Amino acid sequence: MTKKFRICFENYESSPGHEEIVHSKEIIMNGLIERPVDVFNFGLSHGDQIKLLHDCLDAFLKEQIALIDSEPQYCPKCKDIKLRRNGKRVSDYHDVFTDHKLEICRMRCPDCKYESGSTIQGSVILKVISKELWYCFLSDKTAEFTTMTKKFRICFESYESNPGHEEIVHSKEIIMNGLIEKPVDVFNFGLSHGDQIKLVHDCLDAFLKEQIALIYSEPQYCPKCTDIKLSRNGKRVSDYHDVFTDHKLEICRMRCPDCKFGHGSKTTFFAEHCSYKSVHWI
C-alpha cells in the first residue's frame, strides 16, 4: 500500500436539525507521503504551496460568484423586469500571492437593454458588485429565505491505496471551515491574507506531521550495537521555518537501551534523517 494525502475543497450546506448536504468535493492536491530523506522531499515545495493556495482560493471564488448568479436580479430602471443572461465574460482577479481568471455572467435587461457587470476591467469586484447590483440584493424580490447555510471546508486526508485494493482513509482533518457568502464588497470576496497564510500553514503542518510519523513507523537500529533497536526517549519540539510559515514540529528522541547512544535531539535528528544541512532546520 502506498501512503498518500489529498487536500479537498468541499462545498456543503448545513443547518441545525438538518442532515448535511455535500454539493461538491474537489481534490485540490494529491500526492505521496514519503519518508523524509533530505530537505528536498521534506514538506511541500514553494511552487506546490502557491498552487495549493491558488486552487483553494479559485474554488472558493467560483462558489461566491455562483451565489451571485443563482438568484434573480432585477433591472434597476424597469423595476419588475428580471435581468437575463447574456453570455459570459472572463475577468482577471489579482490576489496577494495568486492570479485568477473568473467567469462572470453578463446580465441584460430585455426591455431597456441595461447591462450589469458587462464592462469588467481591472478589479472584478468594482464591476461585479456594482452599486446597482447591490441594491438588487437588498430588495425584497431577491430575498429568498433559506434555513440552510452555504459553507465550505478544506480537508487534509491521509490514506493508503493500491491498485486492486480498497482505499483506506487513515485520518481526515478539517483545515478550514467557513461560510460562502454572497460578495458585497472587496472585504468579503475571497479569503483574507491572514486566512490564506493560515490555510498554507495548516495544510503544510498536517503534511509535515505525516512525514515525521513515517520516520518512527519503522524500527531504527543503534549504529554502534548493530542489532539493538532504539527506543523512544521523550519528545522534543523543534522549529521549522518555511517560505510563508513557521512550524513547531514534535520529534521523538531515540535512545539505545544498551549503549545509551541517542539521536533525535534537534541536531542529530537532522544529521540522521536529512543528509543536507539547510537554514530550514534549527
Applying CB under 5 A, does 78 fall inside the site for Zn ion?
A: yes
Bridge partners, 5 (sequence order): 31, 158
Q: What is the spatial distance between Cα 73 and Cα 175, in angstroms, rounded to a whole number?
A: 34
Q: Interface with Zn ion by CB under 5 A: which range of 21-29, 63-71, 144-152, 260-268?
A: 260-268
Of the residues 62, 106, 114, 202, which one makes contact with Zn ion according to CB under 5 A: 114
By C-beta, is 66 or 78 nearer to Zn ion? 78
Task: Give me the DSSP letters along 102-114.
Answer: EEEEEEE-TTT--
By C-beta, is 23 or 77 nearer to Zn ion? 77
Q: Least CB distance from residue 73 to Zn ion, whole Å? A: 11
For the record, the C-alpha cell of 7 comes out as 487536500
By C-beta, is 39 or 225 nearer to Zn ion? 225
Applying CB under 5 A, does 109 fall inside the site for Zn ion?
A: yes
Applying CB under 5 A, does 154 fall inside the site for Zn ion?
A: no
Q: What is the spatial distance between Cα 177 and Cα 9, in angstroms, rounded to a whole number?
A: 10
Applying CB under 5 A, does 135 fall inside the site for Zn ion?
A: no
For 89, the 3-state DSSP assignment is strand
Query: What is the contact mask toward Zn ion in residues 214 to 233, using x (rule: CB under 5 A)?
Result: --------x-xx--------
- 193-216 vs 46-70: helix crossing angle, rounded to 10: 130
Applying CB under 5 A, does 111 fall inside the site for Zn ion?
A: yes
Applying CB under 5 A, does 75 fall inside the site for Zn ion?
A: yes
Which DSSP symbol is given to 75? Answer: -
263's enclosing H/E stretch is strand 262-263
Q: Least CB distance from residue 178 to Zn ion, whole Å? A: 36
Report yes or no: 180 and 67 within 8 Å, Cβ to Cβ: yes
β-pair type (99-108, 115-116): antiparallel
By C-beta, is 77 or 88 nearer to Zn ion? 77
158's enclosing H/E stretch is strand 149-161
Q: Least CB distance from residue 52 to Zn ion, whole Å? A: 42
Q: Which residues here bind Zn ion, judged by CB under 5 A? A: 75, 77-78, 109, 111-112, 114, 222, 224-225, 256, 258-259, 261
